[in-house]
């Protein structure tokens, strides 16, 4: 009798452990992503890391940090875009609204001092569309990203990314 009870216990335990993890519909299975953004608040391009902070079936909150390096013969600069975004989800399609800031460090070539550097920050918004399946790896974003420094300016951005 002991052997039958032990065998039954082992079989039940094995069956319970072999079950797939239950994922609620609409929740992202992967909370991290890397994205290449063309145009967007950082200028011509940026490489970004994004993390889902709040992951519900119809609402999600993400935070993002990235960098881009731009320049010419007379100047070079490094941009660090930082943003927080709220997503309203409709299965694979999502509406994004967010705010962010871009920290810039720019090196100017001068005749007197060689290179001189300056730093500044400006702010941006985001209103966009995102395609990402809850269990998928690929994501696509397109959005309106207005800039707020030193004057208001209209801008757009496209992102391709991979979730992990």
Whichever domain contains 51, its CATH number is 2.40.160.20
- On the question of pLDDT at 104 being above 80, the answer is yes
Distance CA 149, CA 122 (A): 5
Give the number of other CB atoms < 10 A from CB of residue 139. Answer: 21
Give how many domains the chain has, as a whole number: 1
- On the question of pLDDT at 69 being above 60, the answer is yes
Q: How would you class 24 by CB atoms within 10 Å of its CB: exposed for 0-12, middle for 13-18, buried for 19 or more? A: exposed
Average pLDDT, the chain: 89
> Which of the residue ranges 7-16, 30-39, 47-56 would you say has the lowest mean pLDDT?
7-16
pLDDT at 35: 98
> Which of the residue ranges 4-13, 49-58, 59-68 would you say has the lowest mean pLDDT?
4-13
Mean pLDDT (whole number) for 58-84: 95
The pLDDT tens digits of the residues spanning 105-122 come to 999 888 777 778 899 999
Range of the domain at 118: 2-163
> Which of the residue ranges 11-25, 45-59, 85-99 would you say has the lowest mean pLDDT?
11-25
pLDDT at 15: 60
Mean pLDDT (whole number) for 123-139: 97
Q: What percent of the chain has pLDDT over 70?
A: 85
- Cα 20 to Cα 15, 17, 127: the distances in Å are 10, 8, 36
Instruction: Give pTM, 2 decimals.
Output: 0.81
pLDDT at 114: 77
pLDDT at 110: 81
Distance CA 156, CA 144 (A): 4
């Amino acid at each position: 009798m002991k052997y039958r009870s032990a065998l039954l216990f082992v079989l039940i335990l094995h069956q319970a452990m072999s079950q797939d993890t239950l994922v609620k519909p609409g929740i992202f299975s992967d909370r991290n992503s890397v994205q290449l953004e063309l145009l967007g608040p950082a200028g011509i391009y940026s490489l970004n890391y994004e993390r889902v902070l709040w992951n519900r079936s119809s609402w999600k909150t993400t935070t993002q940090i990235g960098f881009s390096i731009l320049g010419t013969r007379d100047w070079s600069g490094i941009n660090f875009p930082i943003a927080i975004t709220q997503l309203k989800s409709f299965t694979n399609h999502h509406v994004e609204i967010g705010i962010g800031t871009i920290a810039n460090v720019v090196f100017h070539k001068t005749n007197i001092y060689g290179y001189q550097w300056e730093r500044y920050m400006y702010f941006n918004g985001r209103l966009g569309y995102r395609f990402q399946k809850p269990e998928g790896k690929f994501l696509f974003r397109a959005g309106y990203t207005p800039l707020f420094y030193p004057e208001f300016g209209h801008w757009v951005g496209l992102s391709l990314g991979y979730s992990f």
